[in-house]
Amino acid sequence: MKGEIKMFKIAPKVYSSMFSLPTEIADKGLKFASGEQLKVIIAVFRNPETDEAQIAKVTNLSLSTVKECVEYWVDSGILQMGKAEETVKTEKQTITVEKIKAPLPEIHFTNPTQDEIEKVLKKNGSMKRLFNEAQQILGRTFGFAMQSTIYSVVYRYNIKPDVANCLLHFAKSIDSTGHNDILKIAKYWAENGVTTLSSADDYIRETEKSLTLFKELAKRTNNDDSAPSFAVLELISEWIRWGYTIDEVEKAFNIMKNEKQTGRLVWVNMRHMNGIIKKWHSAGMLTAQDIEKGTKKFETKAQKQNKIKETSFDIQKAEEKAKSNRKDFGEMKNKRKKVKGA
């Protein structure tokens, strides 16, 4: 029947061999991760002792793409980076990952129970006010899960209730109001000293600059429907601190688009742009003019190298021709001698 919804069920035989996958990957990954990122994380959990080269082989992806996907899952909090001999333990598996960045300080914290949260709300007026305001900010009534998240922001990361209020407003402004999103922002604030109303206000103003730049880039590149994640805004904030403007960022986008044959402003592509801008920064190319000169200098150097190759080829060809001419001349001389002798 036309329009009928077809039902399906899993074939029983596939249950003969299984491996576990965290629900967070399914719940969040299916909505936000790309197909390549999902392939990589499945490969990691299927064979925890694997490495990036093996993942590239089994997923039929390039090594550079695999590295970018691994970084995505690190930034998402699914994978942790440590020394080669260090491991990330799950209930049934151990995942070994190559070190990319230094591990963060361990914070000892036990998730609260419902009773503990209720006790805090009865005794602490600031927390009760925060919980009420949080529901208004996020636009929904929430239960234990979000209560636990807000509790963690205050007691795990030592962010005062009034600063936590600013944090929630900020999370709402960048459409990052999931449990993990809020905790990721709280963790970043705690590690970077954003613990007062003044520092929170400064941080939000800086991030608004990043958001403005992203929106302008999206407009220039026909990505008006794109929304930046917290991680993307952090990349852009660093570019701005280095002194780059929308013009230089657009140049990086065009290079990325040419190299990757895609113009989407997704995390993997923004990471690729970050690599380009980092190279410019390391080379001291800070303006569009610097980048233009640096690019022309590189092109001129490449052209000279190609010209040398072409010249070398011509010389070799000329020598071969000269040898051939000498040979022809020698044969002609011998023929003349024979004619005279006759």
Judge if 160 and 142 occupy the same domain.
yes
Report if residue 34 sits inside a domain.
yes
Domain identity same for 92 and 156:
no
Q: Is residue 171 part of a domain?
A: yes
CA 199 – CA 140 distance, rounded (Å):
28
One domain for residues 273 and 305: no
Q: Is residue 333 part of a domain?
A: yes
Question: Does one domain contain both 313 and 250?
Answer: no
210 and 175 in a single domain? The answer is: no
Tally of domains within the chain: 4
Indicate if 170 and 231 belong to the same structural domain: no
Spatial separation of the C-alpha atoms in residues 318 and 251, rounded to whole Å: 44
CA 15 to each of CA 9, 11, 18, 22: distance values in angstroms, whole numbers, following the listed order: 12, 8, 6, 17
Report the CATH number at residue 22.
Answer: 1.10.10
Has residue 106 been placed in a domain? no
Q: Is the dihedral of CA 227, 231, 255, 31 positive or negative?
A: negative
Looking at the fold, whether 190 and 240 belong to one and the same domain comes out as no
Identify the pLDDT of residue 86. 42
How many CB atoms lie under 10 A from the CB of residue 279? Answer: 12
- Residue 31 in contact with residue 16, Cβ under 8 Å? no
Whole-number pLDDT of residue 304? 54
pTM above 0.75, yes or no: no
The answer to whether residue 1 sits within a structural domain is no
CB 163 within 8 A of CB 197: yes
Instruction: Give me the tens of pLDDT residue by residue for the chain, a chain 342 residues long.
Output: 555 666 667 676 655 566 677 777 777 677 677 888 888 888 888 887 778 888 888 888 888 788 888 887 877 777 765 444 444 444 434 444 443 333 345 556 778 899 999 999 999 999 999 999 999 999 988 889 999 999 999 999 999 999 999 999 999 988 888 888 999 999 999 988 898 999 999 999 989 999 999 999 999 999 887 788 888 998 999 999 999 999 999 999 999 999 988 888 888 899 999 999 999 988 888 888 888 887 776 555 445 555 554 554 555 665 666 566 666 556 655 655 555 555
* CA–CA distance, 167 with 43 (Å, rounded to integer): 35
- Tell me if 328 is assigned to some domain: yes
Contact 290, 244 (CB under 8 A): no
Beta bridge partners of 94: 89
What would the 3-class secondary structure string for 59-90 be?
HCCCHHHHHHHHHHHHHCCCCCCCCCCCEEEC
Q: How far apart are CA 30 and CA 119, in angstroms?
A: 37
| 103 in a structural domain | no
pLDDT at 175: 87
33 in a structural domain: yes
> Residue 97's closest CA among 70, 124, 116, 127?
70
Indicate the residue among 195, 224, 256 that finishes a domain.
195
Q: Do residue 30 and residue 79 come from a single domain?
A: yes
Element (H, E) at 95: strand 94-96
3-state secondary structure 116-177: HHHHHHHHCHHHHHHHHHHHHHHCCCCCHHHHHHHHHHHHCCCCCHHHHHHHHHHHHHCCCC
**Residue type present at position 22:** P
Helix axes 267-282, 230-241, angle to 10 degrees: 20
Domain residues for the domain of 180 are 114-195
Which of these three, 51, 68, 96, is where a domain ends? 96
Residues 329 and 252 in one domain: no
Radius of gyration in angstroms for the set of CA atoms belonging to the chain, rounded to a whole number? 30
Q: Which of 195, 226, 246 is the last residue of a domain?
A: 195
